[in-house]
Amino acid sequence: MGYMVSQKGRYHKVGFTSKDLHNHISKTRRGKVKDGDALAVLAYLLSKVDSNPLFLGKFTLKDSKLDNLVWADGASIVDYECFGDVLAFYTTYKKNVYNKPLVIFSGTNHHGQTTIFGCALLSDERSDTFKWALKKFLKFMFGKLPRSVVIDGDHAMRDAILEVFFGITLPLCMASPS
């Protein structure tokens, strides 16, 4: 960018900003994502089972492509057993190269540190998709329900939690980070 500015004399004469350039490069890289990425992820997760017998993962396919993926390792399962009374269920939407919601199931341990209980990479933020992820997560955690769930206020997420985690305290909403 600096070279172009030196050629034109000023930033406004270049015709685009550094952010425009960054966005273009990012879009180009996303366009080069190959179908092999999903296979590489699944192969990696399968290899984790060899070193961690409690590693669990489930996925769905749509049109022969990876659609939804949820996983948890042995340490996360043990942590959930100890510290899973309150579950934070939060999505970081479109923050990754695939523009898919990444769900992080987390809580707090006895030292006040954040503990991750599991993760999911989902196709969308619909209630049915959240229900699928929550059911798989609950199965990974041997059916142990949290006492309460903290969410970011998403209605589809709330509806899914109330259906899958039947009988728990209504989800608490936290303000979304700006």
The tokens describing 173, both together, are: 């909403």
Taking all residues of the chain, what is their mean pLDDT, rounded to a whole number? 80
For residue range 18-66, list pLDDT tens digits in order: 666 666 665 665 444 455 677 777 777 778 877 888 888 888 888 777 8
Q: What is d(CA 73, CA 146) in angstroms, rounded to the nearest whole number?
A: 18
Cα–Cα distances (Å) from 83 to 55, 75, 99, 116, in that order, read 18, 12, 31, 10
Strand, coil or helix: 80: helix
Strand, coil or helix: 97: coil
The tokens describing 13, both together, are: 């004469």
The tokens describing 151, both together, are: 């969410």
For residue range 54-69, list pLDDT tens digits in order: 888 888 888 777 889 9
Q: What is d(CA 152, CA 144) in angstroms, rounded to the nearest whole number?
A: 22
Q: How confident is the model at residue 120 (pLDDT cuts 50, 70, 90)?
A: very high
The pLDDT of residue 143 is above 90: yes
**Per-residue confidence (pLDDT) for residue 178, from 0 to 100:** 44
pTM of the model: 0.72
